[in-house]
Amino acid sequence: MDVRTAVVLGGSVAGLMAARVLSDHAESVVVVEADDLEAGGARPGAPQSVQLHALLDMGRTQIERWFPGLTAELVAGGAVASDGVRMRQYVDGALKVVVPGHELIGATRPFLEARIRRRVLALRNVRLVRGRAEGLRFTGRRVSGVRYLPVGDGADWDGGSGRECLTADFVVDATGRSSRLGAWLDKAGWQPPPLERMHIDLGYATALFRRGEELPDVSVAHSVESPPAPGQPQLDAGAMAEVEGGRWMAVLVAYADRRPTKDPEEFVARCARVRAAALREMVTRCEMLGDVAVHRVPDSRRRHFWDLRRFPAGLAAAGDAVASFNPVYGQGMASASLHASCLSAFLRSGAPLDEPAWGYFKRLRVVVDAAWQLSTLSDLAQPHVSGPYPPGYRVASWYGSRLLAASITDTELNRRFLDVINMREHPRLFTRPGTVWRVAARTLTSRARW
CA pair distance 172, 357, nearest whole angstrom: 11
Q: How far is the CB of 297 from ligand FAD (least distance, A)?
A: 5
Shorter beta-carbon distance to ligand FAD: residue 302 or 442:
302
**Footprint on this chain of ligand FAD (rule: CB under 6 A):** 9-15, 32-35, 45-46, 48, 51-54, 59, 132-133, 174-176, 204, 295, 297, 319-321, 324, 327, 330, 332-334, 336
CB 29 within 8 A of CB 126: yes
CB 361 within 8 A of CB 306: yes
Shorter beta-carbon distance to ligand FAD: residue 162 or 409:
162
Shorter beta-carbon distance to ligand FAD: residue 58 or 268:
58
Q: How far is the CB of 13 from ligand FAD (least distance, A)?
A: 4
Q: How far is the CB of 46 from ligand FAD (least distance, A)?
A: 4
CB 306 within 8 A of CB 322: no
Shorter beta-carbon distance to ligand FAD: residue 11 or 312:
11
Q: How far is the CB of 253 from ligand FAD (least distance, A)?
A: 9
Shorter beta-carbon distance to ligand FAD: residue 71 or 435:
71
Buried-exposed string 114-138: b where 16+ CB fall within 10 A, e elsewhere: ebbbebbeeeebbebbbbbbebbeb
- DSSP letter, residue 358: H
Closest-by-Cβ residue to ligand FAD is: 45
Q: How far is the CB of 174 from ligand FAD (least distance, A)?
A: 5
CA pair distance 26, 33, nearest whole angstrom: 19
Contact partners, residue 40, CB within 8 Å, separation at least 6: 110
Q: How far is the CB of 406 from ligand FAD (least distance, A)?
A: 25
Contact partners, residue 269, CB within 8 Å, separation at least 6: none
Shorter beta-carbon distance to ligand FAD: residue 62 or 435:
62
DSSP letters, 361-420, are HHHHHHHHHHHHHHHHHHHHTSTT---PPPTTHHHHHHHHHHHHHHTTT-HHHHHHHHHH
